[in-house]
């Protein structure tokens, strides 16, 4: 595993968590806590961050920035186990450092109001339903990752469509699970004050969805050698 690959994964994941949590905090400040969150704005913040960071760093590491993506690529035969493990470590570290940095910069009372921007289950959503929704949303994401950025037959516009997929997934799932689609997106903010009680949901759901997408693409869609 090359250091530059891990550094790229660290930076990309750092950006996603830093902007994602920051956008949720900024939305709360603008609203002063009144009314509903600006779901479209938050979705675009996450999607645009991924689009630009994948475009900037994809040539170095593939622009994964998500343990579920790394697992999907591993299961799909696009990444070896050593590289996948190194990427996941870098992603988790990037998420933790980003959340810690946000905590140092933004007012503590704002972060308290938004629970550090940590994804969580919405009212009336059970744990199994949350896992299933996260799995489905992540399946969409990893399918788009492989189909637009990894497959040699793909058009070279992966960053754009991956970012758009994250945005549309948040528009669907944001009110119900936070639409993390990414264990690192939950891990960093949760460790910095959001709480780890729902961590199993945000590891199980995305990893199941990512693995299924990788396997399906490998055995159903890949060109046969």
Give per-residue pLDDT as tens, 182-194.
999 999 999 999 9
Q: What is the mean pLDDT of the chain?
A: 95
| Structure confidence by residue, pLDDT tens digits, 13-68 | 999 999 999 999 999 999 988 888 999 999 999 999 999 999 999 999 999 999 99
Predicted confidence at residue 171, as pLDDT, reads 97
Return phi, psi of residue 121, to 5°: -70, 140
Kindly give, in sequence order, each residue whose CB lies less than 8 Å from that of residue 108, ignoring residues fewer than 6 positions away.
none
For the chain, what percentages of helix, strand and coil (3-state, to nearest 5) are there?
75, 0, 25
- What's the pLDDT band for 224 if we cut at 50, 70, 90? low
Q: What is the pTM of this model?
A: 0.95
The percentage of residues in the chain with a pLDDT greater than 90, rounded to a whole number, is 90
Q: What is the pLDDT of residue 36?
A: 87
What are the residues whose beta carbons fall under 8 Å from the beta carbon of 16, sequence distance 6 or more?
A: 46, 49, 50, 53, 65, 95, 98, 182, 184, 185
Q: Find the largest Cα–Cα distance for the chain.
A: 57
- Residue 151: its pLDDT value, please? 85
109-140: pLDDT as tens digits: 999 999 999 999 999 999 999 999 999 999 99
Question: Which is nearest to 181 in space by CA: 163, 197, 158?
Answer: 163
In the numeric block, the tokens 């040539």 are attached to: 59
């Amino acid at each position: 595993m090359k250091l530059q690959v891990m550094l790229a994964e660290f930076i990309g994941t750092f950006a996603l968590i830093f902007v994602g949590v920051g956008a949720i905090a900024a939305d709360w400040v603008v609203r002063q806590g009144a009314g509903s969150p600006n779901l479209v704005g938050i979705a675009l913040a996450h999607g645009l961050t991924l689009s630009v960071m994948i475009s900037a760093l994809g040539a170095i590491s593939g622009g994964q920035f998500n343990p579920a993506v790394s697992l999907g690529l591993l299961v799909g035969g696009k990444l070896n186990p050593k590289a996948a493990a190194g990427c996941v470590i870098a992603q988790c570290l990037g998420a933790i450092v980003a959340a810690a940095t946000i905590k140092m910069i933004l007012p503590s009372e704002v972060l308290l109001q938004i629970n550090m921007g940590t994804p969580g289950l919405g009212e009336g959503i059970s744990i199994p339903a949350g896992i299933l929704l996260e799995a489905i949303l992540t399946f969409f994401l990893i399918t788009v990752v492989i189909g637009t950025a990894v497959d040699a037959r793909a058009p070279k516009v992966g960053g754009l469509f991956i970012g758009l997929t994250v945005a549309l997934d948040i528009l669907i799932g944001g009110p119900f699970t936070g639409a993390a689609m990414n264990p690192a997106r939950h891990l960093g903010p949760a460790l910095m004050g959001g709480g780890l009680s729902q961590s199993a949901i945000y590891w199980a759901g995305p990893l199941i969805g990512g693995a299924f997408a990788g396997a399906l693409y490998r055995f159903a869609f890949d060109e046969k050698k």
